[in-house]
A and B are shown apart, each in its own frame.
Chain A
């Protein structure tokens, strides 16, 4: 049976993992490759590397990093952060990335999704959406790392993106992100049940129960988290054993 996936996310700046980690067993906790390899060995099903570097040297640094990751890591990985053209994506693919994640650039130019899907296949294109539920009860799309609100509803954008060729949706709920109070169940469920592609839930995972809930009630295909893994609040092998005991299919 196809399993639910657990995906640690690593934020990268200038080739280094941002946010300290308290892994005492790593030689260099700031090295994304070493941290990624550690997660892979722990049983992570996939990795997401999000580049938040904002310099002109970015592309070169990132492509070298992607190559190092591809050489050493034996599970699929997605690279995101500032991908806004076929050329950007092509550099990542050629260096060994399995998927790219696109966000603001795709919203501003939806044809980018179509072009990427045609050029590299839908399996290569992960559409990341940052969404926030407003007082009217609707979830809206936010851009630029959550700084810019749009009037587009999350569901409408996700549907359009899938029609254009997005192969997966990485859905981050800004209401839940950083709270450790659980994932956004309703919007995840709505997307997952309506769309033909997998939905990765992100934001709010704090306990093992939260993961079980987002899989069972939220119908997520995968769940992504960052700091709870980095700070060892949750170990992947423990999480997977727990999910397995909850009759959720996971790779152990």
Chain B
């Protein structure tokens, strides 16, 4: 089993690597196309700003590679947002695997970004197998994916939104699974065990 973490200019890749290590998975951090294409599982992490993250992907032609992958792919945080069609964050055209927009939270009464632990509910898909309804995960984000037919988890902040999505071989989680205690580890484990 070969698991790769896509290396590009987008922050805390080390944390994902260590989280996998804790569940007994040795992942390879790489931007090499061949390594990514031949992996059994691909993790697409991301922290930071969507536009510069997309530029970094394009510079290395990783945008085309990611879209064409056939094995299970997991986008985390900005990684999930980049799998969508378009982000309001600096008007960014994204990968378009999911035909959904990424919107900015707008509220007078909620602090933005959302920082901290929030619940997941209406859980679906093998990614959420064994995860209890209303489990807590750790979130840090100002942009969100609205509710859509691909939602496999819902979270309430300002309004209900899709905190995890799944379509074909592509999965995305808005929360930092790598920092979400046992629940996050369970979700990462589920991803690694997907067929």
Judge whether B47 is part of the interface by a CB distance below 8 angstroms. yes
**Do A74 and B116 touch (CB < 8 A)?**
no
**Do B15 and A98 touch (CB < 8 A)?**
yes
In this complex, what residue of A is CB-closest to B138?
A76
**Do B18 and A71 touch (CB < 8 A)?**
yes
Provide the residues of chain B in CB contact with A95, threshold 8 Å: 14
**Do A70 and B14 touch (CB < 8 A)?**
yes
**Do A5 and B117 touch (CB < 8 A)?**
yes
- Rounded to whole angstroms, the CA-CA distance of A148 and B138 in the bound complex is 36
Judge whether B130 is part of the interface by a CB distance below 8 angstroms. no
Shortest distance from the beta carbon of B46 to any chain A beta carbon, whole Å: 11
- Rounded to whole angstroms, the CA-CA distance of A126 and B39 in the bound complex is 37
**Do B136 and A3 touch (CB < 8 A)?**
yes
In this complex, what residue of A is CB-closest to B185?
A74
- The residue among B11, B19, B181 with the most chain A CB atoms within 10 A of its own CB is B181
Provide the residues of chain A in CB contact with B111, threshold 8 Å: 196-198, 221
Judge whether B147 is part of the interface by a CB distance below 8 angstroms. no
Provide the residues of chain A in CB contact with B116, threshold 8 Å: 2-3, 5, 45, 198, 221-222
Q: How large is the interface on B (under 10, 10 to 19, 20 to 34, 35 or more residues)?
A: 20 to 34
**Do B138 and A93 touch (CB < 8 A)?**
no
**Do A168 and B156 touch (CB < 8 A)?**
no
Judge whether B96 is part of the interface by a CB distance below 8 angstroms. no
Shortest distance from the beta carbon of A164 to any chain B beta carbon, whole Å: 16
Of A1, A40, A167, which one neighbours B115 at CB under 8 angstroms? Answer: A167
Shortest distance from the beta carbon of B20 to any chain A beta carbon, whole Å: 11
Provide the residues of chain B in CB contact with A93, threshold 8 Å: 11-12, 14
Judge whether B45 is part of the interface by a CB distance below 8 angstroms. no
**Do A45 and B117 touch (CB < 8 A)?**
yes
Mask: chain B, 7-27; 1 = CB below 8 Å from A; 0 = not: 000011011001101100000
Of B11, B118, B119, B180, which one neighbours A121 at CB under 8 angstroms? Answer: B11
**Do B182 and A74 touch (CB < 8 A)?**
yes
Mask: chain A, 92-122; 1 = CB below 8 Å from B; 0 = not: 0111101000000000000000000000111
Known: A3-B136, A167-B113, A221-B111. A96 touches B15 (CB 8 A): yes
Shortest distance from the beta carbon of B163 to any chain A beta carbon, whole Å: 12
Provide the residues of chain A in CB contact with B115, threshold 8 Å: 123, 167-168, 197-198, 221
